[in-house]
Structure 1
Amino acid sequence: MTMRHPFVMALCACLLSCSLAWAQAARQTASSQNNTDHTHQALPPEPLQRVLQSVVTVQSRSHAQANTSRTLGQRREGSGVVIGPDLVLTIGYLLLEAESVDLIDHQGRRIPGQVRAVDNLSGLGLIRALVPLRLESVPLGDSDSLPTPGKLWTLGQNETAPTALELVSRKFFAGGWEYLLEAPLMTMPAVNNWSGSGLFDDQGRLVGIGSLLVQDVYGDQVPLPGNLFVPVNLLKDPLPDLLRSGKRPGPGTPWLGITSQRLPSGGLAVLRVSPGSPAALAGIAVGDTLLALQGQTLQDLPDFYRRLRALGPAGSPLTLTVRSDGQSRDVDLLSTDRATALKRPSGI
């Protein structure tokens, strides 16, 4: 009996493990099948052709010495969507400090373009084709009224069919480069052709522009990857001014030139300081820790950016408490408009 008892226990454990493994494999197979079926669901026929011919390749080149060439590269490529006569909407980081821009349509035609605007607040960018595109534009949808969860489709450069996605979250997103979106469009499953790609509703209307691959679409620390799309409604109000002057009306959004991330122990670690920025001029350096703004402790990136913007537009004074080499000090700064720290793209 004493000899058989361990054997019986081991046998039971083995059978239980096999049962669990089989169940997990079955769930994964079903999930994979569901994802495959979901991915290949097509847009209705009527808007499909318009969407297919509206997405173009965007190729840009910046000056080798441009500030953003160090982080984004001198040559950049992504997608864009035709939204008006000879007008293409894309993601702004493709166009920052761009000297030249080319568009390539679904037929392989290379069309010279010119940067019309880069909106640093939303992260979107506009390109004007210098010769007629002869492509049908897609209408802008209402990104604010989309249901969550809800079905959408994305299409990027060189893709022959849209991919079905699920809108799963509108959680805020804060990028360490002083970028904040309060209600982006978070989608699953993750796709790898996101940069400037179009996000469309079931009528073929454009509701978002692809920006990032994110590792946490729900914001609950569960690592579920997906994509962030910038809602097109952020573009609608400033669009006439962006087309006319290349910028939003009124003072710019305050910018300090600090790339940072939250520390588990508290504060924000400074990862990068842009040359010539307010932070650089004030002596803030990589390795410093931001502790407080106007004497109030900084909780995280969204807290930092919201409070910075609440202090006023670009040019407003502020005080950061900074720890360097174990010593804390107060640093007085004047924020600025990020556009003033960048070389204006050719065309604006």
Structure 2
Amino acid sequence: MRPLPTLLALTAAAAFGGFAATALRDGLETPAQAAPAPAPASIASVPAMAALPTAVDGQPLPSLAPMLQKVTPSVVSVHSKQRVRVSPFGNDPMFRRMFPELSQERVRESLGSGVIVDAQRGYVLTNHHVIEGADDVSVTLADGRTLKADFVGSDADTDVALMKIPAQSLQAMPLADSNALRVGDFVVAVGNPFGVGQTVTSGIVSAVGRSNLPGVGFQNFIQTDASINPGNSGGALVNLKGELVGINTASFNPQGSMAGNIGLGFAIPANLANSIMQQLLANNGVVRRGIVGVETQDVTDRLAQGLGLDEARGAAVTRVYPNSAAAKAGLQVGDVILAANGQRIDDSESWRNFQGLQALNSQLTLDVRRDGKPLKLTTGLSETRRDGQSLDARLAGANFAELPESLRRQGWNGVLVTEVAKGSRAAQSGLRANDVILQASSGQFTDLTSFRASFDRPPEQLVLQIVRGRTQGQLLMR
């Protein structure tokens, strides 16, 4: 096994993850210097202080306070704890096994935010990264109560998680139709930045449908200049009616998330968050994704000329999998997908991102160009089987999944081993859960669908090239 090259650092740091709780020392430990008291002045010489008018042209001054009085009880602080064992030998497995008594248990704490969306059932939406790996999660309400939260489910690829708290005098926030949000609409972000307590910031919608953040999963973000800082993750982005339009997720700063807000904040649209929540409730806490069943490539200038396109954009179909939804819909090699459900498709990345955001039972209307002529096709999605036994007997006992989309955006291709049954044939060959399969002697593949297709003709000798932790090597499957 040889060392795995470290992933390239992201050039833009997203404020993902509840941040580690620390004392806010800087600026607080140094006492303020009192200025000398001014010489007393006579009462007559003191100018009268001007008061703000209560109305202008007969109209009361606008204020967000009445709306926020209704909104803030629905926004909660999320406190998670994770127990980890720390060894003085670091990650060296040999010394950790030799001297287990020297390892110490530490508790990592992090802070984030959440939104009550169902008062009757006690459901709270937050970010997956806020509670990822947590052993214990508690929620503090705006009225000061702290309640234990139970994990319902989460989806790492959209960064949405669902928790449940006791339904005791809760107040839920109504959901807006985030599809109606327009650039320029006023929005307010409510959360718990840096753990200082519930805080409100305001701004406008800077853009909608953002999907080009590096190192993040499936994306359809609302961009806003309302300040979103560490600890705001999972909080509410609301409109002036007090309705939830998004779940605050990330801030963007080339110098790192802790460098401060520069007016680039991102939120998950409420419609998407609600769709993920319904899928988590329906599927025992997981999201089941489907595929159309095609491989695509970007359209180059040269390819655009050959296909009779006016511009070099779209996802050109290079392969249609047999018995897939695409095959049933009539998609063909050489077709170019230009839009899906009215959403513009610029390249293979945007096509993959669109598919990943659809529920398994979705119906898609595709705008296709075939032989230079426009064509509309309707298709559904099909779910890929994930068990190894259905691929090759040598993989019996293993289950597979698509790579996390965040890894794909960093240039990775392959499939993830999600579980390996103890004593199974795959386990006996050395395959382990969380292994990443990069290549196999079965043939070329980039994702789970093409991995399955590579076994149409099972190889005489099955060798997998895998990544495990920080190392990679080869496994011979027997």
TM-score tier (shorter): 0.5 to 0.7
> Aligned to 2:72, what secondary structure does the other structure show?
helix
Write out aligned runs for 1:3-22 (5 A): none
* Aligned length in residues: 239
In the other structure, the counterpart of 1:92 is: 128
CA distance in 1, matches of 2:65, 2:146: 29
C-alpha contact 2:439 2:465 (8 A) present in aligned 1: no
Residue 106 of structure 1: CA displacement? 1.4
- Tell me the amino acid that sits aligned with residue 104 of structure 1: T
- Provide the C-alpha distance between the structure 2 equivalents of 1:124 and 1:146, rounded to a whole number of angstroms: 20
C-alpha displacement at 1:97, in angstroms?
2.4
Asked if 1:255 is matched to 2:403, the reply is: yes
2:354: which partner in 1?
none
Distance apart, 1:208 and its partner CA: 0.9
Q: TM-score, normalised by structure 2?
A: 0.43
What is the rounded CA distance, in whole Å, between the counterparts of 1:276 and 1:77 in structure 2?
29
Partner of 1:150: 185
Q: CA deviation at 1:213?
A: 1.1
Is the contact made by 2:157 and 2:405 (CA closer than 8 Å) also made in structure 1? no
Structure 2 match to 1:139 = 174
SS at match of 2:161: strand
Cα deviation digits, residues 65-85 of structure 1 (max 9, x gap):
69xxx9xx9322101111112
Q: What fraction of aligned residue pairs are identical, expressed as a percent? A: 22
| Residue type at the aligned position of 1:64 | V
Change (3 A) 1:65 1:141: farther
Structure 2: how far apart are the matches of 1:64 and 1:257? 26
Aligned counterpart, 2:212: 173
Distance 2:159 2:117 in 1: 17
What does the per-residue CA deviation read over 1:265-319, in whole Å, with 9 as the maximum and x for residues that have no partner?
A: xxx499xx9995343x5489xxxxxxxxx69xxxxxxxxxxx85xx649x7567x
Distance in structure 2 (CA, Å) of the matches to 1:106 and 1:226: 27
Distance 1:93 1:161 in 2: 20
Query: Retained in 1: the 8 A contact 2:157–2:406?
Result: no
Q: Matched residues in 2 for 1:168 and 1:256: separation? A: 28
What is the Cα deviation at residue 140 of structure 1?
1.1
TM-superposed CA distance for 1:60, in Å, is: 1.2
Q: Partner of 2:163 in structure 1?
A: 127
**What letter matches 1:243 in structure 2?**
L
Tell me the TM-score normalized by structure 1.
0.57
What are the equivalent positions in structure 2 for 1:11-160 lying under 5 Å apart?
42-43=63-64, 45=66, 47-64=67-84, 74-85=108-119, 86-129=122-165, 131-157=166-192, 159=197
Q: Which residue of 1 aligns with 2:247?
A: 209
Structure 1 pair 161–59 and aligned structure 2 pair: CA distance change class (3 A)? closer
Match of residue 277, structure 1, among 434, 450, 456: 434
Q: Higher helix proportion, which one? A: 1
Deviation at 1:243, TM superposition (A): 2.2
Question: Can you give the 5+ residue segments of structure 2 that lack an aligned partner in the other structure?
Answer: 1-61, 92-106, 255-260, 290-382, 385-400, 418-431, 455-462, 468-478
Q: Give SS of 1:77's match.
A: strand
Q: Is the 8 A contact 2:202 2:227 kept in 1?
A: no
| Aligned-residue offset at 1:110 | 1.1
> What is the CA-CA distance between 1:127 and the residue it aligns to?
0.9
1:225 deviation in Å? 4.2
Cα distance in structure 2, aligned partners of 1:61 and 1:224: 30
- How far 1:115 moved relative to its partner? 0.9
Whole-Å Cα distance in 1 between the matches of residues 214 and 75 of structure 2?
26
Shift of 1:147: 0.6
Shift of residue 113, structure 1, vs aligned partner: 0.9
Counterpart residue identity of residue 190, structure 2: L
Secondary structure of 1:173's aligned partner: coil
Larger Rg: 2
Deviates more, 1:204-213 or 1:56-65: 56-65
CA distance in 2, matches of 1:160, 1:224: 20
Deviations 1:226-280 (A, max 9, x none): 1111112113334334124111246586116974776xxxxx499xx9995343x
Give, in angstroms, the shift of residue 101 of structure 1: 0.9
